[in-house]
A = this chain, B = another copy of it.
Amino acid sequence: MVPSSQLQADAHSVAVTLNEIIAGYTGPATRLRDGMIYATSNGGKRMRAALVMGAARLASGSDKNPQGAQRTAAALEALHAYSLVHDDLPAMDDAQLRRGYPCTHIHFDEATAILVGDALQTMSFEILADPQTHSDAAVRIKLVATLAAASGLDGMAGGQMLDLEAEQGNFDLEAVKAMQAMKTGALIKAAALCGGIVGGGDEGLLAALDGFSRNLGLAFQIADDLLDYQGDEEVLGKPVGQDAARGKGSFVTLLGLDEARQAAVDLVTEADAQLAPWGDDAAYLKSLAAFAIARKS
């Protein structure tokens, strides 16, 4: 059920691509470059990269444009890494550890971390705009537009703003769902869609990937809440129970443990159903959905 060799191969190829891209910058801002490498090297599960790669393979029927899919995955991972670096800042979540290592603002300093996040965001759009990602400008601009719509005021950044505000108020289930759909779900959806776009998928596949990834994104976040509630700090690489301690509304506090677990399972079932017409060709994406709620970190 849990994807292993293919997930590892995808994670590895995207990490290599990311490193090559950052090493390709030859300007004098070496401290900033070092910070960008630090922030993207400890990449965790690379769930977004795997979604891009899996959706691109499903769309193209093979690895027709593996470099394009890898670069698109690298852009998604860079965007995700930027958001983690900024979310960890003292003024935001004030985190010390990320995946068992000191956060970028701890290992470097706060100013460097702000700039690392800023430059990683820029880089993600620069990667997508580059002809090496796809020869067709219309495909590249669709990638840029999809990632931008997922990341800004009505997407990830807006969701983080709502999440910070949630600490001061009582969010009900609908409000938590809406917030998480923006904060985490939008980028997970963009990963699946960008994979489909760079792989040349038709509108039917893109619609299915949309439905798949919406359900997956919510399941992923419920699993996150469950891990925050009952996870193993050593496996997670960060303290648990922080959300509850801050009084933040989460799926676990609002639904209870059992119902939250069941909701995650149901969402994965619904996600898989979206890809039913593609049969075994969608096995990898489905295994990612299963992995999203079975993971221990």
User: Which residues of A are at the interface with B, using a C-beta cutoff of 8 A?
Assistant: 22, 25-29, 31-33, 36, 82, 86, 89, 91-92, 109-112, 114-115, 117-119, 121-123, 125-126, 128-130, 137-138, 140-141, 144-145, 148-149, 151-155, 157-162, 164-165, 178-179, 182
Contact B86 A152 (CB under 8 A): no
Contact B144 A125 (CB under 8 A): yes
Given contacts A32-B158, A129-B141, A178-B28, contact A118 B115 (CB under 8 A): no
Contact A32 B91 (CB under 8 A): no
Docked Cα-Cα span, A33 to B161, in Å, equals 10
Docked Cα-Cα span, A262 to B164, in Å, equals 50
Contact B111 A153 (CB under 8 A): no
Secondary structure at the A interface, as helix, strand, loop or mixed, is helix
In the complex this chain forms, how many copies of it are found? Answer: 2
12 contacts between A and B (CB under 8 A): A22-B153, A25-B152, A28-B162, A32-B153, A32-B158, A32-B161, A33-B153, A92-B114, A115-B157, A115-B160, A125-B148, A129-B148
Contact A165 B31 (CB under 8 A): yes
Docked Cα-Cα span, A212 to B71, in Å, equals 34
Docked Cα-Cα span, A118 to B33, in Å, equals 19
Contact A157 B32 (CB under 8 A): yes
Contact A112 B152 (CB under 8 A): no
Contact A158 B28 (CB under 8 A): yes
Docked Cα-Cα span, A149 to B25, in Å, equals 10
Within the complex, the shortest CB–CB distance from A170 to chain B, in Å, comes to 15
* A151: B residues at CB distance < 8 A: 122
* A159: B residues at CB distance < 8 A: 29
